[in-house]
Amino acid sequence: MTFARKIWNLLVGVKDALALIFLLLFFALLYAALSSRPAPGKIVDGALLLDLDGSIVEEKSKVDPLKLLMSTESPASEYQARDIERALRLAATDARIKVVVLDMSRFLGGGMVHIEEIGKALDAVRKAGKPVLTFANAYADDGVQLASHASEVWVDPMGGAFVAGPGGNQVYFKGLLDRFKVNAHVYRAGTYKSFVEPYLRNDMSPAAREAYEDIYGALWSGYKADIARARPKAGLDRMTGDPVAWSQAADGDFAEGAKAAGLVDRIGDRTEFQNRIAAIAGKNEAAKGTSDLPYKANRLAAWLAANPEKAEGAKIGVVTVAGEIVDGDAGPGKAGGDRIAELLDENIDQGFKALVVRVDSPGGSAMAAERIRRAIVRYKDRKIPIVVSMGNVAASGGYWVSTPGQQVFAQPETITGSIGVFAVIPSFEKTLGDYGVTSDGVKTTALSGQPDILGGFTPEVEGMLQASIENTYRKFVGLSAAARKMTPEKLDSIAQGRVWPGQEAQRIGLVDKIGDLEAALAEAARLGGVGNGKWQAVYLKEEEDSFSKFLGGLTSDSASESARKSASAFDFSSFVAVRRQQQFARLAEQAGAMFTTRGAQAYCLECPVVPGRANAVNARELSMLESLARFFGRD
């Protein structure tokens, strides 16, 4: 009895300790959220500070409370591109803002379309006679492009600027699959549908290489052109043409090398940078310690809260399809087909004069894409004009949901097309055979027990799966052809899973006009008969519950500042580590697709990964990789 009592007391003690830990966590989170809420109206004459501690996205991801509670560090922040653009354009005309400051010490990047649009907003601030200053320990590709629009670019003496350019190697799994006799059953329609090539080949096919060269060449040309417009004297070619010679010329001092190339203006640490800002914006006399900024500043959340958007005029609905298109209610951050379709249906009676479909997605589930498309068509059936605005990516399933558009807008660096379909299913009959595992049974038809990933597929099920994929492809081509007023044969000749840059997509008829979201909204207002009257963009979104708002506060400006102070700075080695994380995440994504993909997929492999969201490996994929490693580890 004494032993049992001791065990019971131990269990009670563990229970009480866990309860105390969770209570402490709860109150810590509550304090962080309450202390980080923006205070509308408390705007000071000084700087607008954009502390970009994370990535720029089309639509912010929903905070996962369980992951947040279990995480050992603050999650990387996400900033909606349109919020940053609006904040900058307000700052350009507001006399209270003396200077715009971008702290990019832990900037994770953004799509080229977003970077260019924010760059234009920074240009507007400078045109209004206000300086724009940036600081980072080190700048990478997206950071270099964004900072090029600043009037003063500062870098830490131990840092620098590094431009790698788009592109890189893909990982191919065929040799691994062959070694362990895994049978990858691949079904596809589209010559250029290269998503499945890593399971079929040891290298890139000529067709895929052609598509990659076209896309990455267009992105690289656009990147260099944007920097040349912002900084005509910048010597980007010095850095990228012969990086070894460039680094040797700077004696390995990347900060001096970046300055010599005209990509950086001033070399100094954070204290020197902040003193420079204080000289323009004014000193913060209320600063009491290192946690307070030494200059007068307004943070992004508070600035936006103090300048709410005016809700007046005719309503133009805007639905956002951002991230991978998946079945179910996923998102925001992923485009859950059910969630977006229900969002559209719930708002169909809101009196919208027109609907703008904002797409920033590489595609995904064909079933989910069709679910979203049908919901958009229901607006069209009510004679509500539909305009599509493509962001960084509107490919595969992203193009599928764009087909109802009466007018389709893209930007020169938009990646679109990829009209093709695939499915991939592994089976392990040969692998198991090597371990003496066989299968046998009684079948009433050729399809009994099929598809059988342990015993193998019958020819009948192989044929049916390929026929299903081809049928889905024909539907995709048919929808696209009808939308673009082409014959299916003509559309098929430019489809085949190939991706196109926006300018080229307009030339071949996949999009109508080159223009940004504002141009698409203006066209929607025109088609909706607004004329010269006022109109407002109404973004369709679910109402946040109080708990979600509470969690959202944890990634606000104050939380980001706290995370920045406790995190290590980004230098060249840090960028190498981040690139390693991204590569591993991409590897996990590709390997995981073979085991976790469900149904026909309209997904674009060539499309760049959405920044930030691929920096952390998905837990399910990591677990899957670990399981594979343990299995394949047996010789």
Catalytic residue numbers? Answer: 193, 396
Work out whether the CA dihedral 478, 479, 485, 490 comes out positive or negative: negative
> Cα(136)–Cα(575) distance, rounded to whole angstroms?
12
State yes or no: cis peptide before 294, omega within 30 of 0: no
> Cα(570)–Cα(596) distance, rounded to whole angstroms?
34
Q: Which of 501, 439, 468, 583 is nearest to 185 (CA)?
A: 468
> Cα(435)–Cα(363) distance, rounded to whole angstroms?
39
**DSSP line for 240-260:** HH-HHHHHHHTTT-HHHHHHH
Q: Are 138 and 161 in contact (CB under 8 A)?
A: yes
> Cα(79)–Cα(77) distance, rounded to whole angstroms?
7
Longest dimension (CA), the chain: 87
**DSSP line for 135-173:** EEEEE-HHHHHHHTTSSEEEEEEEEEE----S--PPP--
- The torsion angles phi and psi of 431, rounded to 5 degrees, stand at -60, -50
Q: Which residues of 513-550 are buried (b: 16+ CB within 10 A; e: fewer)?
A: eebbbebbbebbbbbbebeeeebebbebeeeeeeeeeb
- Secondary structure percentages of the chain, helix, strand, coil, to 5: 45, 20, 35
- The torsion angles phi and psi of 484, rounded to 5 degrees, stand at -95, 5
> Cα(89)–Cα(304) distance, rounded to whole angstroms?
11
Q: Which residues of 596-627 are buried (b: 16+ CB within 10 A; e: fewer)?
A: ebeebbbbbbbbbbbbbbbbbbbeebeebbee
How many helices and strands, by DSSP H and E, does the chain display?
25, 23
Q: Which residues of 251-268 are buried (b: 16+ CB within 10 A; e: fewer)?
A: eebbbbbbbbbbbbbebb
Decide: residue 452, CB within 10 A, 0-12 exposed, 13-18 middle, 19+ buried. Answer: middle
- The pairing of strands 513-514 and 386-395 is unpaired
- The pairing of strands 421-427 and 183-189 is antiparallel
- The pairing of strands 363-365 and 601-603 is antiparallel
